[in-house]
């Protein structure tokens, strides 16, 4: 099951399942009954439907609906065992808490059968959860579902958009044990670099780094804590590698300058996306270019 956009998740899932069987009847069953997606926006739904048709699936079970308005118990009856989502970003606020990305994640978890696996790609701020509503949702998720881990992605994954993304992995319907250790991975160095006028390109190491990520996630090899931290979690934690990682090495001047620059970039990005409250900035304050510039000029301290 997916909360869709252009049907990318559904198409990838379809090809993955089809590759595992050569039985034509089984393949037809996959195409007709084992894919389910929801997309709210009409024009995106049209694109998604077209993509599915071009790839031999037809419309399948792709629906033009408001995902959050669906009854999770009814969706559960479809028996979906895998859920994927890329929810709309930066729509939630104290006035519209239902649009926080973490609420989409919770709704997806509630819509799947027990033991189902969930993967969501969201802004890192989703798992910091600084507002009361977000904190409550994180608490609710751990009471009913299991956080397997979070993978912090390359800051340029959505090149030109200005979003720092990560992937959250969950198991639905099984409460998170107090002794459960989740994995938090820093995969910012994924082997892709920005090429001027082109965008992201493979620097030649992407395949090996992806395999390394796979091996660490599946406990096939050990890794330094710079790459992966395994730890118990609380709802009040920031579910990100940077929160749990402790670096006992003395940083160089260059390391310090880079960290400060990264932080300022993150702060300005959050303010321009309506999350100034993360830094004590009143949501009612004007968040136009002048304010953002002042934040940068003040070294990140808003006055």
| 268-285 mean pLDDT | 76
| 14-32 mean pLDDT | 88
The SS3 assignment for 170 reads strand
Instruction: Give the span between the Cα atoms of 17 and 2, in whole angstroms.
Output: 15
| 70-83 mean pLDDT | 93
Residue 303 pLDDT: 39
**Residues near 10 by beta carbon (within 8 Å), at least 6 away in sequence:** 2, 4, 35, 37, 48, 52, 57, 60, 62
Residue 95 pLDDT: 86
The answer to whether residues 87 and 168 touch, using CB atoms and an 8 Å cutoff, is no
Q: Which residue has the tokens 């993955």?
A: 16
Beta bridge partners of 6: none
Cα angle 99-103-106, degrees, rounded to a multiple of 5 = 155
Task: Give φ, ψ of 149 to 5 degrees.
Answer: 165, 175
Which is more confident, 44 or 209? 209
Which is more confident, 271 or 141? 141
Instruction: Give the span between the Cα atoms of 97 and 134, in whole angstroms.
Output: 8
Query: What average pLDDT is seen over the chain?
Result: 87
Instruction: Give the span between the Cα atoms of 191 and 179, in whole angstroms.
Output: 34
Domain ranges of the chain: 66-243, 249-303
| 54-61 mean pLDDT | 67
Confidence bin at 302 (pLDDT 50/70/90):
very low
Best-predicted range by mean pLDDT (48-62, 177-191, 255-269): 177-191
Q: In what order do the strands lie in the sheet with 228-231?
A: 61-63, 36-38, 2-3, 82-85, 117-123, 165-171, 146-153, 182-187, 228-231
Note the pTM of the prediction, 2 decimals: 0.77
220-256 confidence digits (pLDDT tens): 999 999 999 999 999 999 999 999 998 767 778 898 8
| 57-81 mean pLDDT | 85
Q: Which of 188, 186, 183, 127 is nearest to 157 (CA)?
A: 188
The SS3 assignment for 186 reads strand
Rounded to the nearest 10 degrees, the angle between the axes of helix 253-272 and helix 289-297 is 160
**Residues near 78 by beta carbon (within 8 Å), at least 6 away in sequence:** 1, 36, 61
Confidence bin at 37 (pLDDT 50/70/90):
confident
DSSP conformation class of 87: P
Which is more confident, 184 or 95? 184
| CATH class in words for 66-243 | alpha beta
Residue 294 pLDDT: 53
């Amino acid at each position: 099951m997916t909360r869709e956009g252009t049907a990318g998740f559904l198409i990838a899932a379809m090809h993955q399942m089809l590759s595992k069987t050569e039985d034509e009847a089984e393949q037809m069953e996959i195409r007709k009954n084992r894919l389910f997606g929801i997309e709210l926006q009409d024009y995106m739904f049209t694109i998604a439907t077209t993509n599915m048709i071009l790839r031999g699936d037809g419309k399948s079970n792709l629906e033009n609906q408001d995902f959050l308005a669906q009854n999770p118990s009814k969706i559960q009856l479809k028996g979906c065992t895998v859920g994927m989502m890329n929810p709309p970003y930066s729509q939630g606020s104290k006035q519209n808490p239902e649009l926080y990305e973490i609420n989409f994640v919770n709704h997806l978890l509630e819509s799947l059968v027990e033991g189902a696996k969930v993967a969501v790609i969201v802004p890192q701020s989703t798992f910091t959860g600084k507002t009361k509503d977000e904190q409550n949702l994180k608490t609710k998720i751990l009471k009913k579902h299991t956080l397997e881990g979070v993978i912090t992605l390359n800051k340029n994954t959505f090149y030109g958009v200005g979003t720092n993304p990560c992937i959250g992995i969950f198991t639905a319907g099984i409460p998170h044990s107090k002794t459960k250790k989740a994995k938090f991975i820093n995969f910012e160095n994924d082997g892709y670099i920005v090429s001027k006028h082109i965008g992201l390109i493979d620097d030649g190491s992407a395949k090996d780094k992806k395999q390394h990520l796979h091996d660490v996630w599946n406990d096939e090899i050990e890794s330094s804590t710079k790459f992966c931290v395994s730890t118990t979690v609380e709802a009040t934690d920031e579910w990100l590698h940077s929160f749990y990682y402790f670096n006992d090495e003395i940083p160089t001047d260059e390391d310090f300058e880079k960290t400060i620059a990264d932080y300022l970039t993150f702060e300005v990005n959050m303010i321009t996306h309506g999350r100034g409250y993360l830094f004590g900035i009143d949501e009612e304050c004007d968040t136009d270019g002048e304010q953002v510039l002042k934040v940068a000029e003040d070294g990140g301290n808003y006055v």
